[in-house]
Structure 1
């Protein structure tokens, strides 16, 4: 889910940074807001990939004893 959020932030930031859409508010700079959204999107994607890589590294091995034999 964080990868999708990162992609949405990245696309929104690129739209604002490349002046595809212009926000006509005096107190908001389109380029700065676009850059902030691009950085936030890239961070969200990278962090979610790191967390998913760490999550998949853990394996659980369960030992059972059945009829006096160890079964894995």
Structure 2
């Protein structure tokens, strides 16, 4: 889920930065877009790291006991 959230934040940030030509006096949409893109990259990387560590920890061991005397 965090991978999708990271991609979403990056896309919204890119739209705010590069696609919109709206100028507001009280907010700089380019800066907000760059911040959202950076946050999206960070969340995406955290999601990838969590996915890798979850797979490496999910190992099972099977013990087979031999009852032959």
TM norm structure 1: 0.79
Partner of 1:12: 12
Q: Which runs of 5+ in 1 are unaligned?
A: none
| Larger strand share, 1 or 2 | 1
Matches for 1:1-72 after TM superposition, within 5 Å: 1-18=1-18, 20-23=19-22, 25-58=24-57, 59-65=59-65, 68=67
| Larger helix share, 1 or 2 | 2
Which protein, 1 or 2, shows the higher relative CO under an 8 Å CA cutoff with sep ≥ 6? 2
The size of the alignment, in residue pairs, is: 67
